[in-house]
Amino acid sequence: MNIGDYIRVTQEKSTWKGKIIQKKGNYLTLKLDSGYNAGILVDKRTKIKKISGSEVKKHKPIKFKTKFDKKKPSVSILSAGGTIASSIDYSTSAISAAHSAEEMVAAVPELANFANIKARKVVEEMSENMLPKHWKKIAKEIEKELKNSEGVVVTHGTDTLAYTSSMLSFILRNLNKPVVFTFAQKSSDRGSSDSAINLICSTITAIQKIPGIFVVGHGTVSDEFCLIHKGSKVRKMHSSQRDTFRSINDYPIGKVWPSGKIKLNYQKKISNEREFHIDDKIEEKVGIIKAYPGLDPKIIDWYTDNNYKGLVIEGTGLGHVNVKDKSLLPKIKRAIKKGVFVCMTTQTIYGRTNPYVYTPARKLLDAGVIYLEDMLTETAYTKLMWVLGHTKNEEKVRKMMLENLAGEFNPQLKPDQFLL
């Protein structure tokens, strides 16, 4: 038996059918038709039979056909890679971002019930490899599509989706239409993929008259409904569950069912006063440091000495770092003196930073650290990049960082927003 052979394995009462993707000693890994891997220890009881012909599952590309319906709104679906646009490469079992946008959309015929769909690929990347240049590219493609569409849906890998959605919340100025990010936790050619429901619910959201950047995805592990999250208040909270994206320190702004039903708890007037435009000036020399007991204070110097312009410290609790035996304070003071803007978020994820409760945090505040209230670290990072792309003036940076530009602050947290 060789890698790539299609086989049936029987072991006592269990049977597996799939392609061999790995052999290690007596251990065999099969890629099952469902898309899942099965690891099998081959022993005396194991029966293996090579199969062929009609029993072998073929991966056929689907042709994209659509009829234009002038009564329906137009929605552009832009593929920016990720699992939703990927399929399993059956020769290596790896998932790769290789599906065409058309193919992905064609697999969900229900979309045509809601809108005339245009689909194309703009970035072909798993999201862990995304960089500022990809954010800018996606922004430009969204701008193009918004000219002729009621809304845009962007499919994106889950890993860094919240970084992209928050960054675009700042780059896309005065949005007057919805831009909806969506995703899949399982690739589209798996039986249990979540991509169809996510695409349908995103399309339904994209035809609403709500301006803004949103993330739409499963609300529970079942396929019942999706939640609509603000792009600047959302985070990937589970490595594999389909309901991974959660609103943090905020309620979701709505709920949408694949039937077309939608409930919105969100009102924002579309302003025609100021024109929609892209403003993608970004300072890339920004870093994130997570605080922890024993963190080496010299790491701050590394950023300072490497010409960094901004640092987001993900502090503990209300926004703390060690200020005693292994104090970060002198290093932070040095960084600020040399022109590094230092901001504080909290690694608790939920809740607000507050420098006024404990003395050590007041010292950080007095040193010039900008406490970012209830802002997510992801959003703090992209916002600091964006703000520093526009000004390095101390007063202006502080003012912009603390101004609610894209719903990134929630002035009044509610207890039931915790673990929502």
Catalytic positions are: 83, 158-159, 236
Task: Name the residue nearer to a copy of itself (CB basis): 294 or 411.
Answer: 294
Contact 246/420 with Cβ under 8 angstroms? yes
Nearest alpha-carbon partner for 247 in 413, 45, 51 = 413
d(CA 108, CA 153): 14
Give me the residue label for tokens 């928050």. 166
Contact 416/179 with Cβ under 8 angstroms? no
Contact 153/77 with Cβ under 8 angstroms? yes
CB-based contacts of 185: which residues, under 8 Å, 6+ apart?
83, 158, 194, 240, 241, 242, 244
Give Dmax over CA atoms of the chain in angstroms: 76
348 in contact with a copy of itself (CB under 8 A) = yes
Q: Quick check: helix, strand or coil at residue 377?
A: helix
List the Cα angle 29/32/33 in 5-degree steps. Answer: 160
419 in contact with a copy of itself (CB under 8 A) = yes
Nearest alpha-carbon partner for 379 in 182, 163, 171 = 163
Residues 353 to 382: which contact a copy of itself by CB under 8 A? 353-354, 356-360, 362, 378, 381
Size of the site for a copy of itself (CB under 8 A): 78
Length of the chain: 420
Choices 102-110, 143-151, 243-251, 330-338 (CB under 8 A): range interacting with a copy of itself: 243-251
411 in contact with a copy of itself (CB under 8 A) = no
Task: Name the residue nearer to a copy of itself (CB basis): 89 or 279.
Answer: 89
Q: Quick check: helix, strand or coil at residue 157?
A: coil
Residues 106 to 165: which contact a copy of itself by CB under 8 A? 125-132, 157-160, 163-164
CB of 249 to a copy of itself, least distance (A): 10
- The mark string for 69-108 relative to a copy of itself (x by CB under 8 A, - otherwise) is -----------------------x-xxx------------
351 in contact with a copy of itself (CB under 8 A) = yes
CB of 316 to a copy of itself, least distance (A): 4
Choices 2-10, 143-151, 352-360, 401-409 (CB under 8 A): range interacting with a copy of itself: 352-360
Task: Name the residue nearer to a copy of itself (CB basis): 95 or 406.
Answer: 95
Residues 277 to 306: which contact a copy of itself by CB under 8 A? 284, 286-296, 298-299, 302, 306
CB of 115 to a copy of itself, least distance (A): 30
46 in contact with a copy of itself (CB under 8 A) = no
Give me the residue label for tokens 């329906």. 72
